[in-house]
Amino acid sequence: MEKFTLTLLTAQEIGRVGATDSVEPIYYLECRPTSFALATGAYNEGFYWTRSWRDSGGLFCSRNGDPATCRYEGIRPVLCPKDESFYQQLLDESTIFQSSLYHDHAPLVFYGEYPCEKVSDEEQLNLETDYKNERLSTTSKIYTFDSNVPHASGFAFAPETYLEFECLGEKYIRYKSYYSKYEGNWFRVQPIPWYIDLKNHRLISQNILVAGIQFNDLLQPDGIDFEKTRMKWYLDTHLAPNILPSHESILQQNEPLRQFVYRKSYSNRQKKENEDR
């Protein structure tokens, strides 16, 4: 049974349009992209999608809005528990977060895991060596992202899968970033921090987790039903299962399939890199 669904904030909730005194201060707390989000194409300034449509075309985000086919806007998910007992469990495990920027208090809880920070140069070298010598073990988790480069606006979603590796009790993924000189960039998988929205009984990601995903494959000037967008599909189909820890993942895979993806991913990368030379 699914414990939650994912959505996005609205433009009103982040104070972009029609903000009122009823807007919770939690939405104004600082939100920055993780190292992994930057590697997938996110803006340094921390711009992210909302689910609101504006009359002049494009979608509201935390700046002036971008067309639905843009890939640079980040995803700051909102987690909506389906069961009150699950929400209460998260609330019981929360701590109070003090924002130094806005001097506001908000309960903070860690739930789920996701690629976050880039490893050090020394760790990068060690992990890459172990990877090429097939000395790393994999977990049950497989991440899915869009293989299109960040500036490829308008192209349809092209899934590319990445295994989660484990080494000395830590989890990592090897991601090929458009912005990096490395064959593969290693990112540490870490717990996700969420603000707890006490008023609406939901969680709001403290950070932008990922970018590179279009809000929709096509522009629709008359507005977009969020529930029918590519973004909502990605949240439901890929991001929701991807944030679960590997021991909870609903994408449990058997060993032969994991090893097939491992070898296929590595061989495809090698083939592409040889062609680019």
- Among the residue ranges 62-71, 186-195, 212-221, 248-257, the one predicted with the least confidence is 248-257
What is the distance between the alpha carbons of residues 232 and 214, in angstroms, rounded to a whole number? 10
d(CA 198, CA 251): 30
Give the range among 63-77, 113-127, 161-175 with minimum mean pLDDT: 63-77
How far are the Cα atoms of 10, 157, 192, 269 from residue 143, in angstroms, in the given order? Answer: 26, 15, 15, 16
Average pLDDT, the chain: 80
Distance spanning both ends of the chain, measured CA to CA: 48
- pLDDT digits 0-9 by tens, 163-216: 999 999 999 999 988 887 778 999 999 999 999 888 889 999 999 999 999 888
Cα separation, 164 vs 151, whole angstroms: 26
**pLDDT band at residue 232 using 50, 70 and 90 as cut-offs:** very high
Domain boundaries, the chain: 4-276
CA-atom Rg of the chain in angstroms: 19
Q: Looking at per-residue confidence, does 29 or 77 come out higher?
A: 77
User: CB under 8 Å to 138, separation ≥6 — which residues?
Assistant: 163, 164, 165, 166, 258, 259, 262
Q: Give the model's pLDDT for residue 170.
A: 95
Q: C-alpha distances in angstroms, 271 versus 33, 86, 123, 127, 277?
A: 31, 46, 25, 21, 10
DSSP code string of 103-162:
--EEEEEEEEEEEEEEPPHHHHHHHHHHHHTT--EEEEEEEEEE-S-TT-TTPPP-EEEE
